[in-house]
């Protein structure tokens, strides 16, 4: 059947609930559509239909898509996800019957069709087969901010929209890392959301808005809300930090020239190695330190691994501003703040420890005591997963030439290969230097046999972890990226019958 004989599929945004906030285009599409479809909860009337009721014509065909389950348990063999997937497939098939018959179908969506809405699951199933048009609608948080009549974000404030269904610790971290925030999907999640707001230091500026744009609309401070009476049609507005005068500058924004002079006695600056990833690989000493500091400074993904708590301020920055980040932390410590600089793996192995000492050569920081706490390094993690490949003498090299010329790296590779040491390779490849690992392999093959054992560890310690045992001759360098750490064996390195790699401690 050609598209010219098929009906047109519309995703129609209705706005937050007040019928007067429906756009003119949405109203026209609803009035002209042959079929009006809408979702409905278990044992509930469709809220979307109620919003658009006065626009639906008497001769329109109505299709109610009633969910089999919204929360709780189900006896479906595929569980909750399986029950909903089956529901969406069945609903899409119902819409397809009308579209194949040449009818126009308008699927009503509360708020905006592409913003946390059920329409999207139908869009996934129908938009590739039928001509589809989406009519945007005002999302609920726009009505909520209007209700509170306070600016949400301004100037360089960053806005983050968060579902209240996130794990509490993750929600607290994200709230601490943004300026303004919207938290949706409340109801039963409200107690955890309020605790996350408190832990992130945002509770005092958080406003609860219920039934935005409705006649029953109300709003009040989140701290004053009765958590036993929070409906799903509610959300939380956290106004941007520029409004509250609390926005802290990041290491990239704050230069030493703008920092006030040191006041009083400097506090200790602690450089903490977080390990390669799993919480179980964080040392008790590091965990105890992170539970006591006032500020944590580091590369964004590493900062994300530090649990948020009341009183903790986080300062995340990019991956190539290590010395700026170190100066920022030293500036805080010089003013009496308890500061931790975090680094993945071990902070002393291609981590932040050296950057901190480099920045601390500035005489302004001579009075700041620095302590480095060890962490499990990536080379240790990969080696342990493989067996005991670094059981004898070994060397560690980073292939990144950002801070040293490639000629130096190549000279060191030749020396290590000639010395017959096990070699751990950090930063083997990136988007900007995809070919260096291939060059390194070629250099090593000038000194090592092609059957030299190679271990490739990718994302070790994380859910997507993989470990591959190959040889120097068989190494496919096109598959290597920054998530990998390589261990190139010595001439004595061997593989057991069970696939474990080890290097004898003795040399004949």
Q: How high is the pLDDT of residue 246?
A: 54
Q: How high is the pLDDT of residue 430?
A: 85
Q: How far is CA 132 from CA 274, 363, 470, in A?
A: 48, 65, 50
- In this structure, the number of other CB atoms found within 10 A of the CB of residue 70 comes to 12
Q: How high is the pLDDT of residue 256?
A: 39
Q: How high is the pLDDT of residue 266?
A: 78
Query: Which of 383, 376, 414 has the alpha carbon at shortest distance from 397?
Result: 414
> How far apart (Å, rounded) are the C-alpha atoms in residues 489 and 323?
34
Helix (H) or strand (E) holding 358: helix 352-359
Positions in the chain short of pLDDT 70? 1-4, 71-72, 241-264
Q: How high is the pLDDT of residue 255?
A: 40
> How far apart (Å, rounded) are the C-alpha atoms in residues 504 and 508?
10
- Which pair of tokens denotes residue 112? 């905006």
Q: How high is the pLDDT of residue 245?
A: 58
The SS3 of residue 491 is coil
Contact yes or no for 467/383 (Cβ under 8 A) = no
312 CA to centre of own chain: 20
Cα angle 78-117-31, degrees, rounded to a multiple of 5: 120
Tokens 């500035």 locate to 362
CA dihedral 327, 332, 335, 337 (to 10 degrees): -140
Report how many helices (DSSP H) and strands (DSSP E) the chain contains, helices first: 15, 23
The SS3 of residue 198 is helix
Domains of the chain: 3-138 (3.40.1010.10), 141-244 (3.30.950.10), 256-373 (3.40.1010.10), 379-502 (3.30.950.10)
> How far apart (Å, rounded) are the C-alpha atoms in residues 316 and 483?
21
> How far apart (Å, rounded) are the C-alpha atoms in residues 457 and 461?
10
Q: How high is the pLDDT of residue 340?
A: 97
Q: How high is the pLDDT of residue 252?
A: 45
Tokens 């290597």 locate to 480
């Amino acid at each position: 059947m050609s598209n010219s004989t098929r009906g047109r599929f519309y995703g129609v945004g209705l706005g937050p609930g007040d019928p007067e906030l429906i756009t003119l285009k949405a109203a026209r599409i609803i009035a002209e559509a042959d079929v009006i479809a809408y979702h409905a909860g278990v044992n509930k009337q469709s809220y979307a239909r109620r919003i658009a009721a006065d626009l639906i014509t008497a001769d329109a065909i109505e299709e109610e898509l009633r969910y089999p389950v919204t929360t709780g348990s189900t006896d479906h063999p595929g569980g909750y996800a399986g029950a909903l997937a089956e529901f969406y497939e069945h609903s899409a098939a119902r819409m397809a019957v009308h579209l194949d018959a040449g009818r126009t179908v308008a699927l009503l969506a509360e708020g905006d069709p592409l913003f946390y809405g059920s329409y999207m699951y139908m869009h996934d199933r129908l938009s590739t087969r039928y001509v589809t048009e989406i009519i945007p609608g005002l999302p609920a948080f726009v009505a909520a901010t209007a209700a509170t009549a306070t600016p949400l974000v301004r100037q360089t404030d960053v806005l983050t929209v968060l579902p209240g269904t996130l794990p509490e610790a993750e929600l607290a971290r994200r709230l601490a890392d943004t300026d303004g925030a919207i938290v949706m999907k409340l109801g039963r999640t409200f107690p955890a959301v309020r605790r996350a707001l408190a832990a992130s230091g945002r509770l005092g500026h958080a406003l609860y808005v219920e039934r935005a744009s409705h006649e029953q609309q109300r709003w009040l401070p989140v701290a004053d809300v009765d958590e036993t009476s929070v409906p799903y049609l509610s959300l939380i507005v956290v106004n941007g930090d520029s409004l509250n005068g609390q926005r802290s500058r990041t290491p990239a924004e704050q230069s030493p020239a703008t920092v006030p002079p040191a006041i009083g006695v400097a506090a200790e600056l602690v450089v903490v190695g977080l390990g390669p990833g799993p919480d179980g690989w964080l040392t008790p000493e590091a965990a105890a330190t992170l539970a006591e500091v006032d500020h944590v400074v580091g590369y964004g993904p590493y900062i994300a691994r530090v649990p948020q708590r009341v009183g903790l301020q986080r300062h995340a920055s990019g991956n190539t501003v290590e010395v700026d980040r170190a100066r920022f932390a030293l500036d805080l410590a010089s003013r009496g703040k308890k500061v931790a600089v975090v680094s993945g793996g071990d902070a002393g192995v291609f981590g932040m420890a050296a950057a901190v000492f480099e920045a601390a050569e500035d005489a302004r920081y001579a009075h700041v005591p620095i302590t480095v706490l060890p962490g499990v390094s990536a080379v240790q993690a990969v080696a342990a997963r493989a067996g005991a490949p670094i059981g004898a003498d070994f060397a560690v090299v980073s292939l990144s030439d950002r801070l040293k010329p490639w000629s130096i790296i190549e000279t060191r590779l030749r020396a290590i290969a000639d010395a017959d040491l096990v070699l751990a390779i950090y930063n083997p490849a990136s988007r900007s230097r995809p070919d260096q690992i291939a060059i390194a392999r070629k250099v090593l093959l000038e000194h090592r046999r092609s059957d030299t054992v190679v271990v490739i560890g990718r994302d070790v310690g994380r859910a997507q972890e993989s470990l591959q045992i190959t040889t120097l001759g068989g190494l496919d360098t096109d598959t290597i990226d920054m998530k990998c750490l390589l261990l190139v064996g010595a001439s004595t390195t061997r593989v057991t019958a069970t696939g474990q790699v080890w290097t004898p401690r003795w040399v004949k």
